[in-house]
Amino acid sequence: LNQLPKFNPVKTIPDMVALKRQYDLPDGTSTLPGIDVFVTTADPIDEPILYTMNCVLSILASDYPVDRCACYLSDDSGALIQYEALVETAKFATLWVPFCRKHCIEPRAPESYFELEAPLYTGSAPEDFKNDHSSVHREYDEFKEHLDSISSAISKRSDAYNSMKTEEGDAKATWMANGTQWPGSWIDTTEIHRKGHHVVLGHSIRGHNLGSQASTNNLNFASTDVRLPMLVYISRGKNPSYDHNKKAGALNAQLRASALLSNAQFIINFDCDHYINNSQALRAAMCFMLDQRQGDSTAFVQFPQRFDNVDPSDRYGNHNRVFFDGTMLALNGLQGPSYLGTGCMFRRIALYGIDPPEWRHDNIVVDDKRFGSSIPFLESVSKAINQERSTIPPPISETLVAEMERVVSASHDKATGWGKGVGYIYDIATEDIVTGFRIHGQGWRSMYCTMERDAFCGIAPINLTERLHQIVRWSGGSLEMFFSLNNPLIGGRRIQALQRVSYLNMTVYPVTSLFILLYALSPVMWLIPDEVYIQRPFTKYVVFLLVIILMIHVIGWLEIKWAGVTWLDYWRNEQFFMIGSTSAYPAAVLHMVVNLLTKKGIHFRVTSKQTAADTNDKFADLYDMRWVPMLIPTTVVLIANVGAIGVAMGKTIVYMGAWTIAQKTHAALGLLFNVWIMVLLYPFALAIMGRWAKRPVILLVLLPVAFTIVCLASRRSRMQSLSYK
Ligand SMILES: O=c1ccn([C@@H]2O[C@H](COP(=O)(O)OP(=O)(O)O[C@H]3O[C@H](CO)[C@@H](O)[C@H](O)[C@H]3O)[C@@H](O)[C@H]2O)c(=O)[nH]1
Ligand SMILES: [Mn+2]
């Protein structure tokens, strides 16, 4: 299943020069289509505000015509702190964005940019650079201080207002800087939010039109465009009586809100822990969308996920290169890669569930049963289908804001097509794969876009527990999809055969773990007294096994050569598959069984990007594992294999004279198996060593000690049983 979809691998490269030639006019204007950029955040603690704001800054500074690009931040925490941080960010952007444009800065996320040692200068004003750089750096440090102070400022301000106005009731109100009450009803949002308490946000949208003249500080931006794209803050009105459908719900709310404002033909969405690393990325995706051959039937362009906080040796296989650079790219020759959740550009109408041009009927019904009851929204859908777009968003009036509040609220989804055939799909732990599947199922294709300088970059959990939680969610979501109407065997009318195989593989792979787990546990047979079972008459079987394993690795080798990934990536992938197969995948299978029996879904928890307190060590998280039940099977496998080696040594000493040559070779093969498992589980062994893993040599001492202890124990018991006989 894994190999078949790689039958027709095709690499594609965006041609940026051709795009420029065709769409950028000599007078500096452009005819490129509009893009609405969505960022989702859900928790100001687990998803640090600084990252989110860096993401926003990188979007605002991206190289795309300002009047054709808008940025929407969806804040599911509804926290005033996020809103005020966004206002600060908008202010800082008036300096940062022109600075990036003038000096051709890369990347355009300040936190990552200022970390660079000596960035290469490619701009056209080198004489100003030193001065500009240091003053922007200074301003950025000040901006960060502002972000840090927001929290205490809000609580001080709110305390002051609340003590003044206690007679009016709510002593726990949160107050904005302009003396109005924040519609969220808490100061420290996260505490209550985490307990799952949902608050109805009344006045949830505020527009800041930043297209005006920027404050230019003392820098010379005379020949630089200082305009900024539109920036919008959205927090959905939530109500305990409706399911707010997490990330997919947030994205759909953004989809509707943006339809009323900019209604761009294209959408791109980012998790708040990702940023644009290559300012040309939006243009690159556009190359595929506007391509004269297949552009019109391309629904989405997915970029690989890249991470810049991963430890140099990538202990937990976070880079996932084999998947991103091999498996996904290979699908390009079929119907295209699947949607991976972040860094993906969509055609708006494809998300609306409209058919691709070759299957489209002339009279598409745009009704409230499918899209909800907002008249302005329904009009925007018809416009989108006819590819009309208002470049100038309507003026922000009371009625517009009221209408937007209505369409962003979770209740607007109720009894409509939203989350089923319209927008991002609901009721599953991994909305991404299913959303892509639905779109492919209508006959659309997708493209994979890789760039020399990585387009986007994000944060990966380098803590084993978090990493495995993420894997449980992905594999659990896959299984949920298998047991739903979106099962690749029955769903998706217009999916091509091999593409279907690929989706099938993506949904059933966690089940293979059960066999792997059993297999990895088989050495416990060694612990059974006397006869060594694993050594028995498997010769022919072993030959078959070796041939198959060899073939898998030869194919793997060809694949990584083609995809341009390294042996280390390949090896980490193998190791992590073993670790996952003995922990996260069985856990997901178990979840699924429980789910099928009790109808309870997998609990969606935002992956924590918060790092451990140790600020001296960038990779402190590596050594900070939390014990969770799913780690038990992996530990048992590790112990079984360490034990088996010890017992084998003990037996060898006792039976040395009595064993035949054949018995000895079998015992040696058994040992090979154990060592192989241990090598695969090496990253896990490091993880359970915690801080000691900073000196992995300790393992070289610990392991022989463990072997010797087991060896002596088994020798003794065997000698005793021999003497009884
Ligand atoms: O109620 C919610 C919950 C989450 N999110 C956002 O959803 C995104 C993804 O959540 P995260 O916990 O970071 O998931 P990861 O495990 O890091 O995400 C990977 O896996 C997910 C499920 O497959 C995909 O959606 C993601 O894009 C992909 O990066 C984040 O931006 C969150 O802010 C919301 O907006 N509202
Ligand atoms: Mn993420």
Ligand 1 near 314 CB (within 6 A):
no
Measured by CA distance, the residue closest to atom 22 of ligand 1 is 430
Quote the pLDDT of residue 666. Answer: 75
The residues, any chain, with a CB within 8 Å of residue 708's CB and separated by 6 or more, are 646, 649
Ligand 2: distance of its center to the CA of 273 in Å?
Answer: 6
Instruction: Give the pLDDT confidence score for residue 209 in this predicted structure.
Output: 44
- Between 48 and 653, residue with greater pLDDT: 48
At a CB cut-off of 8 Å and minimum separation 6, what does 302 contact? Answer: 328, 336, 337, 338, 339, 340, 343, 344, 446, 447, 448, 449
* Residue 606 to residue 83: CA distance in whole angstroms: 20
Q: Quick one: pLDDT at residue 677?
A: 92
Ligand 1 atom nearest the C-alpha of 340 is 27
For residue 256, the model assigns a pLDDT of 95
Compute the distance from residue 248 Cα to the ligand 1 centre, in Å.
9
Residue of the nearest CA to atom 23 in ligand 1?
Answer: 430
Distance 722 CA to ligand 2 centre (A): 59
Residue 76 Cβ inside 6 Å of ligand 1? The answer reads yes
186 CB within 6 A, ligand 1: no
> pLDDT for 255-266, tens place per residue?
999 999 999 999
Q: Catalytic residue among 432, 454, 569, 624, which? A: 432
The token pair that represents 277 in the structure block: 């690393």
Ligand lying nearest the CA atom of residue 435? 1
What amino acid occupies position 605? R
- CB distance 470 to ligand 1 below 6 Å: yes
Quote the ligand 2 centre to 521 CA distance (angstroms).
33
Structural contact between residues 264 and 35, judged by C-beta atoms closer than 8 angstroms: yes
> Do the beta carbons of residue 34 and residue 68 sit within 8 Å?
yes
Task: Give the containing element (helix H, strand E) for 671.
Answer: helix 661-680
> How many CA atoms within 13 Å lie on the side-chain side of 146?
17
Task: Say if residue 208's pLDDT is above 80.
Answer: no
Atom of ligand 1 nearest to the CA of 477: 23
Lowest mean pLDDT among 249-253, 392-396, 460-464, 503-507: 392-396
Atom of ligand 1 at shortest range from CA of 251: 35
Does ligand 1 lie within 6 Å of residue 430's CB atom? yes
Ligand 1 in reach of 631 Cβ (< 6 A):
no
Hey, what are 263's tokens? 């209604």
Q: Is 250 in the pocket of ligand 1 (CB under 6 A)?
A: yes
In contact, 666 and 640? CB cutoff 8 Å = no
Query: Would you say the CB of residue 236 lies under 6 angstroms from ligand 1?
Result: no
Is there an atom of ligand 1 within 6 Å of 40 CB?
yes
Of residues 496 and 546, more confidently modeled: 496
Ligand 2 centre distance from Cα of residue 429 (Å): 13
In the numeric block, the tokens 């966004």 are attached to 86
Which tens digit of pLDDT belongs to each residue from 6-46? 988 899 999 999 999 999 999 888 999 999 999 999 988 88
Task: Give the span between the Cα atoms of 197 and 172, in whole angstroms.
Answer: 15
| Catalytic residue check, 76 | yes
* pLDDT for res 536: 55
**Span 579-597, pLDDT tens digits:** 999 999 999 999 999 989 9
Q: Is 614 a catalytic residue?
A: no
- 332 pocket-lining for ligand 1 (C-beta < 6 Å): no
Please give the distance, rounded to the nearest whole angstrom, from the Cα atom of residue 371 to the centre of ligand 1. Answer: 24
Question: Ligand 1: which residue has its CA nearest to atom 7?
Answer: 247
Average pLDDT over residues 522-540: 64
For the Cβ of 247 lying below 6 angstroms from any atom of ligand 1, the answer is: yes
Confidence of residue 184 (pLDDT cuts 50, 70, 90): low
Q: What is the pLDDT of residue 650?
A: 84
| Cα of 175 from ligand 2 centre, angstroms | 31
What confidence category does residue 189 fall into, taking pLDDT thresholds of 50, 70 and 90? very low
CA dihedral defined by 25, 343, 56, 469, rounded to 10 degrees? Answer: 180
If you average pLDDT over every residue of the chain, what do you get?
A: 86
Cα gap 481→475, rounded to integer Å: 10
Tens of pLDDT, residues 476-501: 999 999 999 999 999 889 999 999 99
Give the integer Cα–Cα distance in Å for 253 and 449.
27
Q: Is 39 in the pocket of ligand 1 (CB under 6 A)?
A: no
225, 66 Cβ separation under 8 angstroms: yes
* Greatest mean pLDDT among 163-167, 328-332, 708-712: 328-332
Residues 34 and 264: their CA atoms lie apart, in Å, by: 5
Cα(606) to ligand 1 centroid in Å equals 6
Which of 40, 194, 602, 605 for mutating ligand 1's site (highest number of atoms within 8 Å of CB)? Answer: 40
pLDDT of residue 277: 97
| pLDDT (mean) for 182-195 | 52
Q: Residue 604: nearest ligand to its CA?
A: 1
User: How many of the other CB atoms lie within 10 Å of CB of 473?
Assistant: 20
Distance from the alpha carbon of residue 432 to the mean position of ligand 1, in angstroms: 10
pLDDT band at 70 (very low <50, low <70, confident <90, very high): very high
Least confident of 189-203, 518-532, 606-620: 189-203
Residue nearest to ligand 1 atom 8, measured at CA: 271
Q: Is 564 helix (H, G, I), strand (E, B) or coil?
A: coil
- Tell me the pLDDT band of 66, cut-offs 50, 70 and 90: very high
Q: Which atom of ligand 1 sits closest to the CA of residue 74?
A: 35
pLDDT of 202 > 50? The answer is no
Q: Whose CA is nearest to atom 4 of ligand 1?
A: 247
pTM for the model stands at 0.91
Active-site entry in 76, 325, 413, 454:
76
Ligand 1 atom having least distance to the Cα of 250? 35
Instruction: Compute the distance between CA of residue 458 and CA of residue 326 in angstroms, rounded to an integer.
Output: 20
Evaluate if residue 509 carries a pLDDT over 80.
yes
Per-residue model confidence (pLDDT) at position 385: 92
CB contact burial 40-78 (16+ within 10 A = b; e otherwise):
bbbbbbbbbbebbbbbbbbbbbbbbbbbbbbbbbbbbbb
Whether residue 210 is predicted with pLDDT greater than 50 in this model: the reply is no
